[in-house]
Structure 1
Amino acid sequence: MRDIYTRAQHIVTKIDEDTDVFGGAVIPPTFENTIYRYPDFDTVVETNKGAISRYSYGKNRNPTTDALESKLAALEKGEASRCFASGTAAIYTTLLSILNQDSHVITINNVYGRVSDFLRNVFAKFGVESTFVPGDQLEDFSNAIQANTKLIYLESPTSWHFELQDIRTIMELAKKHNLKVVMDNTWATPIFQNPLEYGVDAVIHSASKYLGGHSDLVAGVVVASREFIANLPQIGAVLSPYESNKLLKGLRTLPLRMERHENNANIIADYLDKEHKISVVHYPGLHSFRQYELAVQQMKGCSGLMSFELESDKEGVKRFINSLRHISIGGSWGGFESVIYAAAMSGEDKELESRGFGITQVRLSVGLEDSTTLLEDIHGALQSV
């Protein structure tokens, strides 16, 4: 385990490559330029033809963002990366680069809601077909393949139920049928999982979560081969140099933060798993988790996001949430602070059940605080259930 943190720390703090570019600056500066001066007519022509690589317009490239993208690619063991103004923008751009009219995509039932919305409500307008499958069995995917299938979109683990997909066997299936595979790796981060090593074509992160780590920026990233990244369409959803600089600083503590997130989460998950007022805990790091063996096989560790279901009703969930004194209510996750969110806040009972959510299901992002403080807060709030 120590090796994974050491490698990551070396990547995120390495300044050798940046030193020459930025005049020896330990922290890459923020280049706020929108335009860059050309020396002469011919240089413009050669740059436009791709014969010369230089900065020209901030919408296309920025030195600060370039420094960030090189580190993100190295962390995820990819050749190149592209940063975006949000994780949603990264997802949408990637789908646009692969799918076309009359093509077909296979994804999982509990995929991130925006992906589901894009496929059902946006791409469907242009003739793109989508099939949603449980995803925990290889047959789910093999039985869904059609003549026009182009993409399998994965999210392992998912961010509410934490189901895993067997990446290795899915990749074998995809190669057999010449399909692209894209995977959201936000939950595990590059510290604990590197899907590109299994042959996945592209990895996506909501960098607003663990990569940034401080709940103070919105960003997304795609990591893949140089060819894949070069073919991503330019839709204007670029990451600003200011956000890139903040994300660079967040990356410097990523290995340290993930180690603490995992340690705290293991303590909290173990407590919840033994608590009689909790019916089930969804966390891949627990031995009681139904896919624990697969988690051990394809991940090097677990992050701090989990969910659990209370032995109560919706009113009991409300009392529990309102009784917390330290843990805040919040819709996102991955920052220093612990935050909680109830499924019951997001829809009516029948709608939640149709989407596979438990009425009493609660999602907890375990932060970096002292674990004793978190345990005391949870224990106290459970007395109201």
Structure 2
Amino acid sequence: MREVFRRVQEIVTGIDDNTDIYGAVVPPTFENTIYRYPDFDTVVETTKGHVARYGYSKNANPTTDALEKKLAALENGEAARCFSSGTAAIYTVLLSVLKQGSHVITVNNVYGRVVDFLRNWFPQFGVETTYVAGTSLADFEAAIRPNTALIYLESPTSWHFELQDIRAVVKLAASRGIKVAIDNTWATPVFQNPLDYGVDAVIHSASKYLGGHSDLVGGAVIGSRAYIAGLPQLGAVLSPYEASKMLKGLRTLALRMERHESNAMAVAAMLENEPKVRAVRYPGLRSFDQHELAAVQLHGCSGLLSFTLDTDPAGVRRYIDALRHISIGGSWGGFESVTYAAAMSGDPEEDIVKRGFAVGQIRLSVGLEPLDTLLEDIRGALQRV
């Protein structure tokens, strides 16, 4: 077992003084909303922060606490906070840093909800955003303004898989007093630990690989103890039921990511040699234009990749509809393989291209099915293009 997998497995299955709940191997689910205080003085002392105890599950819950301790350890952070969705986690991070008149730098192909927040909501507070390619440090350096408060990274991005040089960006940001946040959903804590490079906040859509079974929605932010304690409480808390499911999902995280990686590498290599495929985007391939940075910055690769068919929208439709084992869906990171096409938006070709996508671009989340089944399904569908 590679060291990265061994490390993760030891964290998620280990029980220590911080996570021990009556010796339970699987932490129990505390479903209650409130907790009794023994007397008036305890309420006062708890309110003042002199006594640590649970009072209301909106603020803290033993099951969620156990999950947050695991996530913090996995990301080499001091603390974590879980949310009802990855989107809630993103919004909370943005709100924690941005003030009236702030400026944000982010990458062109960042997650769409980030674009939505920065384009449609934060401008009412005078917040401006600059989008950059992000593949060169010069992109960020040229975009910095006196009021730049945040550089928001997504490395790799989840359609084109461009990487940003996290160490270099953090060094630049630190020299200008700028905070750095990163969406680490694609790589997971198994394959990338941005806090080691000095990032201020690591964000996860826990609905993806952390949960791993397409049966929960959640988000997480990991950082220093002081940063996490200062996050605004917006009420978008993760329920103890979802926390319990995620704790169970984490127990197989290392094993799942090992299989996601091996399956995706084989699929990507096969697609590279298919005449009906124009391009494959996957950081694990030696042909990937940022492979050298990926080899340094990542400990491995997850199961999400994209490829471009040499066809028109009708050919994309035939390919998608010919798949028999791979599902059609907009999300990713679960046990099952899921695919989605840029052309499925129904927008005109020129609009798809204007957004930076190729008409024939397909995103594929490679799951945990037997590899032969996946390869056979993809090859069969390509015959219909």
Q: Does 1:369 align with 2:374?
A: no
What CA distance in whole angstroms lies between the structure 1 residues aligned with 2:279 and 2:85?
32
**AA of the residue aligned to 1:365:** S
Report matched runs for 1:194-209 at 5 Å.
194-209=193-208
Encode CA deviations 1:14-64: one digit per residue, 9 max, x unaligned: 1233674x2121110000111000011111111111111110001000000
**AA of the residue aligned to 1:220:** G
Q: 1:110–1:161: 8 Å Cα contact kept in structure 2?
A: yes
Q: Which residue of 1 aligns with 2:170?
A: 171
What CA distance in whole angstroms lies between the structure 2 residues aligned with 1:41 and 1:27?
34
What CA distance in whole angstroms lies between the structure 2 residues aligned with 1:133 and 1:18?
41
Note the C-alpha offset of 1:172.
1.2
**AA of the residue aligned to 2:365:** S
Encode CA deviations 1:226-284: one digit per residue, 9 max, x unaligned: 00000000000000000000000000000000000000000000000111100000000
Q: Which residue of 1 aligns with 2:46?
A: 47
When the two chains are superposed, the root-mean-square deviation of aligned CA atoms in Å is 0.9
Q: Which residue of 2 aligns with 1:380?
A: 380
What CA distance in whole angstroms lies between the structure 2 residues aligned with 1:96 and 1:18?
30
What CA distance in whole angstroms lies between the structure 2 residues aligned with 1:55 and 1:248?
20
Q: 2:19–2:66: 8 Å Cα contact kept in structure 1?
A: no
Report matched runs for 1:24-173 at 5 Å.
24-173=23-172
Q: Which residue of 1 aligns with 2:6?
A: 6
Q: Which residue of 1 aligns with 2:254?
A: 255
Secondary structure of the residue that 1:362 maps to in structure 2? strand
What CA distance in whole angstroms lies between the structure 2 residues aligned with 1:98 and 1:351?
33
Report matched runs for 1:233-312 at 5 Å.
233-312=232-311
What CA distance in whole angstroms lies between the structure 2 residues aligned with 1:276 and 1:223?
43
Q: 2:18–2:69: 8 Å Cα contact kept in structure 1?
A: no
Q: Which residue of 2 aligns with 1:358?
A: 358
Q: 1:340–1:363: 8 Å Cα contact kept in structure 2?
A: yes
What CA distance in whole angstroms lies between the structure 2 residues aligned with 1:95 and 1:272?
38
Encode CA deviations 1:56-93: one digit per residue, 9 max, x unaligned: 00100000000000000000100000000000000000
Secondary structure of the residue that 1:209 maps to in structure 2? coil
**TM-score relative to the length of structure 2:** 0.99
Note the C-alpha offset of 1:348.
2.8
**AA of the residue aligned to 2:235:** G
Note the C-alpha offset of 1:106.
0.3
What CA distance in whole angstroms lies between the structure 2 residues aligned with 1:370 and 1:229?
40
**AA of the residue aligned to 1:352:** I
**AA of the residue aligned to 1:208:** S
What CA distance in whole angstroms lies between the structure 1 residues aligned with 2:76 and 2:378?
38
What CA distance in whole angstroms lies between the structure 1 residues aligned with 2:162 and 2:39?
56
What CA distance in whole angstroms lies between the structure 2 residues aligned with 1:332 and 1:19?
31
Encode CA deviations 1:355-380: one digit per residue, 9 max, x unaligned: 10111100000000011000000000
What CA distance in whole angstroms lies between the structure 2 residues aligned with 1:356 and 1:17?
49
**TM-score relative to the length of structure 1:** 0.99
Q: Percent identity?
A: 70
Structure 1 unaligned segments of length 5 or more: list them: none
Secondary structure of the residue that 1:235 maps to in structure 2? coil
What CA distance in whole angstroms lies between the structure 2 residues aligned with 1:348 and 1:209?
30
Q: 1:99–1:128: 8 Å Cα contact kept in structure 2?
A: yes
Aligned residues: 384
Note the C-alpha offset of 1:147.
0.7
Structure 2 unaligned segments of length 5 or more: list them: none
Note the C-alpha offset of 1:187.
0.2
**AA of the residue aligned to 1:12:** V
Secondary structure of the residue that 1:204 maps to in structure 2? strand
**AA of the residue aligned to 1:355:** R
Q: 1:326–1:377: 8 Å Cα contact kept in structure 2?
A: yes
Gap change, CA 1:348 and 1:69, over 3 Å in 2? same
Q: 1:201–1:224: 8 Å Cα contact kept in structure 2?
A: yes
**AA of the residue aligned to 2:129:** S
Secondary structure of the residue that 2:44 maps to in structure 1? helix
Secondary structure of the residue that 1:16 maps to in structure 2? coil
Encode CA deviations 1:300-357: one digit per residue, 9 max, x unaligned: 1000000000011110000000000100101000000001000111233222211101
What CA distance in whole angstroms lies between the structure 2 residues aligned with 1:17 and 1:164?
38
